[in-house]
């Protein structure tokens, strides 16, 4: 299995956990996470969570199944974003480019030195994470539900007794998914996230993982931090169906 395929499968499993937690917590909308002929599909019907509705796992062997999946009744009017890795051609007819995301993958080897300022979080993690995201409403409800799961490892950077940044991790077989990272606005630009990255890579290696994966916005500080930490950053082209009289 390629590193990209292993990374996408682990991200899909992490999203499945998050959506199940959100549904159990009463977050608005309907959630579904499933596989279709090798493709990986996620549905979230609340408009605030539209970024979750995706189709990934597109490869030469799964590409023929894309049109059928996009026409599946499960979407119920939702237009998912199809994500392709390092591919500039649309994966199916009628799709147009809708930006770019980053899939970052790191083969674990030498263990980075742990940071004394990074601690396992027992309480207060979600408050710091949401304050760093500067989000509220349905998105905040979803993030909070996801990061209260017992499968999620939670870490805080603490300076002078004050938590200033948060980041999370889950383990899926031999793959660690690094997600849920933010820094309080007043403390940005001081290296908190690179410290959290190095620390989680050490924890992942100690847990027996051989691969770490993360996602980021193209051109963001997070993407730059991942590159400096030794991740290989793949371009993920985003594709959506054109709106038209025959499209919902």
CB 73 within 8 A of CB 231: no
**Locate tokens 């770490």: which residue?**
212
pLDDT tens-digit map of 45-66: 999 999 999 999 999 999 999 9
Ramachandran assignment for 208, one of left (phi > 0), alpha (psi -120 to 50 degrees), beta (any other): left
In this prediction, residues 91-100 reach a mean pLDDT of 93
Q: Please give the sequence-ordered ranges of beta strands (E in DSSP) within 108-207, or none if there are none.
A: 118-120, 153-159, 162-172, 175-183
Per-residue model confidence (pLDDT) at position 127? 95
Global pTM value = 0.92
Q: Which of 17-31, 109-123, 180-194 has the lowest mean pLDDT?
A: 109-123
Q: Which of 30-34, 128-132, 134-138, 215-219 has the lowest mean pLDDT?
A: 215-219
Query: Could you tell me what percent of the chain has a pLDDT over 90?
Result: 81
pLDDT tens-digit map of 209-226: 999 999 998 888 889 999
Q: Mean pLDDT for the chain?
A: 92
Please give the Cα distance from 56 to 215 (Å, whole number): 13
- Shortest CA distance to 12 belongs to which of 181, 172, 141, 200? 172
What pairing do the DSSP bridges indicate for beta strands 211-217 and 153-159? unpaired
- Residue 50, token pair as written in the block: 């539209």
Per-residue model confidence (pLDDT) at position 248? 39
Q: How many CB atoms lie within 10 A of CB 198?
A: 18
Domains of the chain, with CATH numbers? 3-102+235-241 (no CATH), 107-233 (3.40.630.30)
Per-residue model confidence (pLDDT) at position 116? 67
């Amino acid at each position: 299995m390629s590193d990209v395929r292993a990374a996408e499968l682990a991200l899909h499993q992490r999203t499945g956990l998050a959506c199940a937690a959100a549904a159990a917590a009463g977050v608005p909308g309907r959630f579904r996470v499933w596989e279709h002929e090798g493709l990986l599909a996620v549905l979230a019907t609340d408009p605030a969570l539209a970024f979750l509705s995706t189709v990934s796992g597109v490869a030469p062997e799964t590409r023929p199944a894309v049109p059928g999946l996009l026409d599946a009744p499960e979407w119920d009017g939702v237009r998912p974003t199809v994500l392709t890795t390092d591919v500039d051609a649309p994966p199916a007819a009628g799709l147009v480019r809708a930006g770019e995301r980053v899939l970052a993958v790191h083969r674990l080897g030498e263990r980075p030195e742990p940071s004394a300022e990074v601690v396992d979080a027992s309480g207060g993690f979600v408050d710091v994470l949401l304050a760093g995201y500067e989000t509220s409403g349905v998105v905040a409800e979803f993030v909070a539900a996801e990061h209260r799961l017992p499968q999620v490892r939670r870490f805080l950077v603490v300076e002078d007794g004050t938590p200033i940044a948060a980041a999370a991790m889950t383990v899926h077989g031999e793959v660690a998914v690094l997600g849920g990272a933010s820094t309080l606005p007043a403390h940005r630009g001081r290296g908190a996230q690179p410290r959290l990255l190095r620390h989680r890579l050490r924890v992942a290696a100690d847990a027996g993982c051989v691969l770490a994966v993360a996602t980021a916005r193209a051109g963001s500080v997070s993407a730059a931090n991942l590159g400096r930490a030794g991740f290989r950053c793949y371009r993920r082209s985003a594709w959506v169906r054109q709106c038209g009289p025959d499209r919902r």
